[in-house]
Amino acid sequence: MRGEIRERYGLIFPFVRLIKRGSRLAELLIFPSVCRRCLALLERPDERILCQDCLAGFVPGPPSHCPSCGRFFDGDGAAHLCGGCLRRPPSFSTHRSAARYDGAVKDALLLFKYRGLRPLGRPLAAFLHASIGRFDPPWTGADLFVPVPLHRRRRRERGFNQAEILAVELSRLTGVPVEARVLRKTINVQPQASLRSEERRANIRGAYRAVRPEMVAGKIVVLVDDVFTTGSTLGECARVLAKAGARDVRGVTIAQA
């Protein structure tokens, strides 16, 4: 009997194995199952885009920071206002980043933003939530998350607004709703990277408009963006929201350069 079964199906089982191996090969060809950062093979079913080692490389920034602009300090002194905020307080009341803009966090943000890898929004937002969520994060008592908008031309090119994806993920984790229709970027300003702090502020002034002021009137609003550089973008958005009637404007970003 056993011999008969083997005879009948003996040829089939290796064939099934071959199909299984073939479909794994097809899967590997269709869905690149290697980490997009370090090229390690992604073996666990819950791994997407980045491997566990790269995700573990998301290192929170140092605890010492300016409570106003959120800029990290070297060393581990108590939180204190930085020189910049003492000279000229920003138009947002507080801002926090999860990390410095380097290493695995920087690589993940670049993949997220410029390679269209939208699912990275989830681990990045989870990292922000875990890094600063434990002690009085800016979303405590907040009414709304508002993502920093892209100009519609830039949004069309990229296909999505990375800040909006981060805001939606943060909303899932905190229960604070997102409102992406409040602000609009009306001027597609020249890239800011080459400009100094003062020039950035002048360059970006008037670039944003509150198109639905009734949505923020009397509210505590948390602006969400991917990277904080000089704070000019966040500052200008906060100024516009405050003018539209927001009671308090705060900010969160994944990383600060």
Which residues in this chain contact Zn ion in the complex, by CB under 5 A? 35, 37-38, 40, 51, 54, 66, 68-69, 82, 85
Contacts of 188 (CB under 8 A, 6+ apart): 151, 153, 154
CB of 56 to Zn ion, least distance (A): 9
CB of 82 to Zn ion, least distance (A): 3
CB of 49 to Zn ion, least distance (A): 9
CA–CA distance, 109 with 172 (Å, rounded to integer): 20
252 touches 137 (CB < 8 A): yes
Q: Which residue lies nearer to Zn ion by CB, 35 or 168?
A: 35
Tokens 């944003």 correspond to 208
CB of 122 to Zn ion, least distance (A): 16
252 touches 95 (CB < 8 A): yes
Q: Which residue lies nearer to Zn ion by CB, 184 or 239?
A: 239
Q: Which residue lies nearer to Zn ion by CB, 68 or 230?
A: 68
CB of 175 to Zn ion, least distance (A): 29
Residue 16: burial class (beta carbons within 10 Å; 0-12, 13-18, 19+): exposed
Q: Which residue lies nearer to Zn ion by CB, 65 or 219?
A: 65
170 touches 147 (CB < 8 A): no
CB of 54 to Zn ion, least distance (A): 3
CB of 68 to Zn ion, least distance (A): 4
Q: Up-side HSE of residue 94: CA atoms within 13 Å toward CB?
A: 14
Measured at the alpha carbon of residue 176, what is the angle toward residues 171 and 182, in degrees to the nearest 5? 90
Q: Which residue lies nearer to Zn ion by CB, 51 or 242?
A: 51
Angstrom distances, CA of residue 179 to CA of 68, 91, 148, 211, 228: 24, 20, 11, 12, 20
Q: Which residue lies nearer to Zn ion by CB, 171 or 256?
A: 256
Q: Could you tell me where the beta strands, DSSP code E, fall in the chain? A: 94-100, 144-147, 183-185, 208-210, 220-228, 248-256
Q: Which residue lies nearer to Zn ion by CB, 107 or 184?
A: 107
120 touches 112 (CB < 8 A): yes
